[in-house]
Amino acid sequence: MAEEKKASTAPAKAVTAVKKDDKKPGLFKRIGKWFREMKSELKKVVWPTGKQLVKNTGVSLAVMIASAIVIWGFDQLAQFLVRSLLTLAG
């Protein structure tokens, strides 16, 4: 039979609690802090050059157009199959 492991029964350490102010900062201070943090994060962003932007936009448009054509093709095929089945059944 397996023996149960005993949990250590060492006395808990005394923790000195530091009294913290439970008040939240005011609304305008929180909004100001949010804007400051947002500004510092936006400084870290590596913005694309104009050339990269045009290239990425072109790729995105090409993929969207190709996807639209594929979906349209499947829709036409499904429509043809449903009409064929309806003419056979009717």
How many whole angstroms separate alpha carbon 25 and alpha carbon 31?
Answer: 10
Residues in the chain where the model's pLDDT stays below 50: none
The span from the CA of 54 to the CA of 6, in Å, is: 67
Neighbours of 21 (CB within 10 A): 6
Q: How far apart are CA 51 and CA 59, in angstroms?
A: 12
Give domain status of residue 30, yes or no. no
Q: What distance in Å separates the CA atoms of residue 70 and residue 64, rounded to the nearest whole number?
A: 10
User: In this predicted structure, what is the pLDDT of residue 69?
Assistant: 98
- Spatial distance between the Cα atoms of 90 and 85, rounded to a whole number of angstroms: 9
| Residue whose entry in the numeric block shows the structure tokens 């790729």 | 59
Residue ranges making up the domain that contains 63 = 48-90
What is the domain count for the chain?
A: 1
pTM of the model: 0.52
- Confirm whether 83 is domain-assigned: yes
- Residue at 20 is within a domain: no
Any domain includes 73: yes
**Can you give the pLDDT at residue 10?**
61
